[in-house]
Amino acid sequence: MSIDQLQMKIRKMKNPTMVGIDPILERIPEALRREAFAAHGETLRGAAEAYRTFSCGILDALNGLVPAVKIQTGCFQALGHDGMAAMEEVTAYAREKGYYVLLDTMRGDIDVTAQALAASCFGQIQVGSQTYTPFASDGVIINAYLGSDGIKPFTQYCRQGKNVFILARTSNKSAREIQDMISGDRIVHQVIMDLAMRWSVDLYGKSGYSEIGVAVAGTQPQLLKSLRAKYDRLFFLVPGYGAQGANGRDVQYAFDKAGHGAVVAAGRSILYAYEKFGGDGADYQARAVKAAEMMRNNILTYVTVL
Per CB under 8 A, contacts with a copy of itself among 169-208 are 170, 172-179, 181-184, 188, 191-192, 195
- How many residues form the binding site for a copy of itself (CB under 8 A)? 73
| Smallest distance from a copy of itself to CB 217, Å | 11
Looking at residues 52 to 91 of the shown chain, list those that interact with a copy of itself (rule: CB under 8 A).
Answer: 72, 74-75, 77-82, 84-85, 87-88
Which residues between 84 and 123 bind a copy of itself (CB under 8 A)?
84-85, 87-88, 105-114, 116-117, 119-120
Instruction: Tell me how far, at minimum, the Cβ of 168 lies from a copy of itself, in Å.
Output: 10
Q: Name the segment binding a copy of itself (CB under 8 A); options: 8-16, 145-153, 157-165, 284-292.
A: 145-153
Residue (176 or 233) nearer to a copy of itself, CB: 176
Task: Indicate the residue among 129 and 222 with the shorter CB distance to a copy of itself.
Answer: 129
Rounded to whole angstroms, how far apart are CA atoms 16 and 234?
Answer: 15
Q: State which residue, 50 or 289, has the beta carbon closest to a copy of itself.
A: 50
Complex with a copy of itself: residue 11 or 40, whichever CB lies closer:
40
**Binders of a copy of itself among 15-44, rule CB under 8 A?**
22, 24-26, 33, 37, 42-44
Chain-centroid distance, C-alpha 36: 26
Chain positions 218 to 237 lying near a copy of itself, rule: CB under 8 A, are: none
Nearest CB to a copy of itself, comparing residues 65 and 191: 191
Q: How many residues are present in the chain?
A: 306
Question: Which residue, 12 or 81, is less far from a copy of itself as judged by CB?
Answer: 81
**What are the CA-CA distances from residue 217 to residues 93, 235, 250 (Å)?**
28, 13, 10
